[in-house]
A and B are shown apart, each in its own frame.
Chain A
């Protein structure tokens, strides 16, 4: 499939700059998390990549071929949107059949197996589905499409905890069996954190972070302990968040946990733990966060 390259892409809606000169490379066979607060530009970016809307400036290319000129560029991408684009009167089994016409690698057996696991009645019409089952239908169609790049925009909308868990499990199994590029745009960071290899964080239409999850999380650490000891430790540190509960405090520190820090932590009797991706995300995308 190759890499997807986004170069200097901008998009305005009226006076609002939704995507601000974004450049990005999406590597082959990696799982990406596209994160950002509401209105950060995630869906717009995915829509631009898929030619569903047009950028005001910049280029999106796959294997150095401009997507606007290369007709076949999008053949190997399946983009599941929050908005339903399927004909409402169509039955789910018909939808699978038609998708297999447009995606020759569509795996019907897999689609039926997933439908059984998710208890999706394929004889139902799309308009008869609840929000959750509508998401399930789109998830199954996307996963069975056989495309080399799968993009999910808010895939777990309306899904209960069991179905969400099942989706993550199936996605991981499918990825292990058949590596592909996956982009997950979601607000439920805690749940997908385990799946992601790389994350792209958008804020006000700009990329504020594009890193490996492990590398990003290694750049910070969490210390917890008695209030006064934590206060003592963080006074000369770049502390990005503090949680307090009675006489205990927990703080996230941006920076390396080197030998000197470790010694001090030991002296103060603090405990060090890994930072949660969600906490880091909140810091990075909050008002005072990194720009």
Chain B
């Protein structure tokens, strides 16, 4: 019960940021639309994957949703397990609402400017290219709409969970560990590049494996939905392990 109340608090405290984000987002899209529509040379201009901005926004929300919320739960002697549950509950309606809103915004934006979603580019029937924007048509079938919303929803909850996990790792780590965590993606990239260079077969297999996980070749978006949900669950399991022993820091 407390986790629902806490989720209500989390959602209420995020609403303001979401409104500000969409105000800026919509303003930018309107500006782009006006510029393109008013320009005679605007024909053939397009954009793609504008939902990436929502993904970045939710990642930042994830990064910011630990310390203050956790301290507030501690001020009210709310068990850590309830805090964990509340975080999981919070992201579900936010991600669902944002994915639906993004699809609506995308469809409206498409009236003025050709703009496929990530889903359209990865799983859509007709391919989109910058050189031939006008040849691309967006499908508005129920299947596409549901596919886009579920894909975005799964994508959004995953980036939120990763953001939350990263901020918790940072909270738990000392300065040295924080530096290691910051540098680890760089090391990982170097190692992967070396592997790709020295063992092309391995690289091909990894690429093929990721392709299968995301269902890109088979044009099956539900594969990526399952993959993202699994990633969300794995990230939240780590969050749970960290939150069980996390403490209020002094000062």
* Interface positions of A (Cβ within 8 A of B): 47, 50-54, 71, 74-75, 77-79, 81, 83, 85-88, 98-99, 101-103
Contacts and interface: CB of A to CB of B under 8 A. Distances in A.
Contacts of B78: 102
A54 B78 CA distance: 15
Interface stretch (B28-36, B68-76, B99-107, B213-221): B68-76
16 contacts: A50-B74, A53-B248, A71-B82, A74-B77, A77-B77, A78-B77, A79-B77, A81-B75, A87-B71, A88-B68, A98-B72, A101-B8, A102-B2, A102-B77, A102-B78, A103-B76
A234 to B, nearest CB: 43
Contact of A85 (B9, B74, B247): B74
Contacts of B8: 101
Interface string B1-36: 010010011000100000000000000000000000
A110 to B, nearest CB: 18
User: Main SS of the interface on chain B?
Assistant: helix
Given A47-B248, A53-B248, A83-B248, A75 B77 contact: yes
Contacts of B205: none
Contacts of A71: 79, 81-82
Contact of A54 (B68, B71, B76, B247): B247
Contact of B75 (A54, A75, A85, A101): A85
B250 interface: yes
Given A50-B77, A74-B77, A101-B5, A87 B250 contact: no
Contacts of B9: 98, 101
B68 A52 contact: no
A83 B250 contact: yes
Contacts, number: 52
B245 A52 contact: no
A53 to B, nearest CB: 5
A102 B68 contact: no
Interface of B: 2, 5, 8-9, 13, 68, 71-72, 74-79, 81-82, 245, 247-248, 250-251
Nearest to A75: B77
B175 to A, nearest CB: 15
A106 to B, nearest CB: 10
Query: What 9 pairs between A and B have smallest CB-CB spacing?
Result: A85-B75, A74-B77, A85-B71, A102-B76, A53-B247, A52-B248, A101-B5, A71-B79, A87-B68
Nearest to A98: B9
Given A98-B9, A101-B5, A102-B5, A86 B75 contact: yes
Contact of B245 (A50, A54, A88, A99): A54
Contacts of B71: 85-87
A216 to B, nearest CB: 31
Contacts of B76: 98-99, 102-103
B29 to A, nearest CB: 29
B13 A87 contact: yes
Contacts of B79: 51, 71, 74
Nearest to A71: B79
A98 to B, nearest CB: 6
A52 B249 CA distance: 9
